[in-house]
Amino acid sequence: MERDEKLDALIDKYLSGRATPSERALLERAYDQAVRHSSMDEHHASDIDRIGWESWVALADKIVPSPAVHVMSWKKWLGIAAALIALVTGGILYQYTTDKAKPLASGQSVFVNDVNPGGHGATLTLDNGQRINLTEVAQGELVREDGVVIRKTEEGLITYETMKSTVENGWNILTTDSGQTFRVKLSDGSVVILNAASSLKYSADLGRGENRSVYLTGEGYFEITADSYRPFLVNVRNQQIKVWGTRFNVNSYTGEPDIRTVLLEGSVEVTAGGHSRLLEPGQQAINDGTSIRVNQADTEQALDWINGEFALNGLDFRTAMRKIARWYQVDVVFDPSLPDDLQTGGWISRDTKLSEVLALIEKTGQVYFRVENRKVYVLKK
């Protein structure tokens, strides 16, 4: 199937409602990029005609349902459609929609074995020290003690429900290993998703008391229930985030050079080392241990793991490899001769095998890989 045919099929799936969540996100992202880079001339008109003008209009009407869609000029439409086709022929969408990664070039990458992706799982440690493997337990009631009921839902989420007015304020710890993610709905209604190799410490009865305070290591995505009287406090190493009701992501892995807090909705106050900064949606706070910088965030890249993807465009190479290592439970060994300023590129699903992710990175022409057991050797090309 040619690349324009792949795009045609993807648009058909989107319009008919048969597209998967990742396919929908992919096409919406590519369309958004095309709108921003639509200054193309009309020589692509024949390509657009092959897919069908009505499909383009219907696609835009679904992605951006607005009267402005229908009054847009022919040239603007042509530019957007041509830009989207250019993304496909340039390989961005193709890397997502291809069924299999191309075979690695002979004499370059060597895979003694392949590695499967991570999945859904975690361990819950109760205040009394009891540990529950949430990957293995069935759905239903897990624990009922001290006035709190903990359940595992059909969707794999664990929930907390307070059953009486006075509850002992015991601490629970939710922990993911490398290669695991998990969601928890706290007793105040807030939802937290943990990325791989992370943990969240919280009160079983977070819905009561003077404040709502949790402790995070690693990376977590938060959707906080609004409460104008009691802020929600996220404690991360030497940093505290004060929240009233909002959506944000915190990356605080100890192996990373800084703590990054990316705000999607609402407002948060980030405090560290006597400094405080207030974020607006679309901004990120970067805490390097000595100061807090605020700038515009690449929210797509920050939340790629929530969407089940690796968004690697323009990402520092070693940062990308650390993300990959945490998800595939591998150790990465770098050739000492590799330059420090390498960057990666492309998008790919986190549901693919390790070889396919590494094959995508190898397309940059800068490195190749050798995988043996749980070790990934990165070699200069």
Structure confidence at residue 95 as a pLDDT band (50, 70, 90): very low
Angstrom CA distances, 165 to 124, 143, 189, 257, stand at 24, 18, 17, 44
* Contact predicate 24/295, CB 8 Å: no
Name the residue among 44, 117, 30, 122 with its Cα closest to residue 77: 44
Categorise residue 6: left if φ over 0, alpha if ψ from -120 to 50, beta otherwise. alpha
Structure confidence at residue 17 as a pLDDT band (50, 70, 90): low
b/e code 140-163 from CB counts within 10 Å (16+ = b): eebbeebebbbbbeeeebbbbebe
Angstrom CA distances, 215 to 128, 174, 180, 202, 304, stand at 18, 10, 19, 7, 23
Instruction: Identify the CATH number of the domain defined by range 119-301.
Output: 2.60.120.1440
The CATH 3.55.50.30 portion of the chain extends over: 110-115+309-380
* Contact predicate 183/157, CB 8 Å: yes
What is the distance between the alpha carbons of residues 241 and 381, in angstroms, rounded to a whole number?
43
The CATH 2.60.120.1440 portion of the chain extends over: 119-301
Global pTM value: 0.72
The class that CATH gives domain 110-115+309-380 is alpha beta
What is the distance between the alpha carbons of residues 178 and 237, in angstroms, rounded to a whole number?
20
Measured in degrees and rounded to the nearest 5, phi and psi for residue 234 equal -110, 115
Question: What are the pLDDT digits (tens) for 104-143?
Answer: 343 456 777 889 999 999 999 998 899 999 998 999 999 8
Copy the structure tokens of residue 360.
């995508």
Angstrom CA distances, 150 to 77, 124, 156, 199, 200, stand at 52, 11, 13, 18, 16
* Half-sphere exposure at residue 31, Cβ-oriented, CA atoms within 13 angstroms: 20
Contact residues for 146 (Cβ-Cβ < 8 A; gap 6+): 167, 168, 170, 204
What's the average model confidence in pLDDT over 227-242? 93
pLDDT exceeds cutoff 50 at 91? no
pLDDT exceeds cutoff 70 at 340? yes
What is the distance between the alpha carbons of residues 63 and 200, in angstroms, rounded to a whole number?
36
* Contact predicate 287/298, CB 8 Å: no
Angstrom CA distances, 58 to 6, 70, 242, stand at 17, 10, 42
Q: So what's the pLDDT on residue 375?
A: 92
Question: What are the pLDDT digits (tens) for 53-62?
Answer: 455 556 555 5
Which of 52-61, 109-118, 197-206, 315-324 shows the lowest mean pLDDT across its residues? Answer: 52-61
CA 24 from chain center: how many Å?
15
Copy the structure tokens of residue 45.
């008109």
pLDDT exceeds cutoff 60 at 184? yes
What's the average model confidence in pLDDT over 19-40? 58
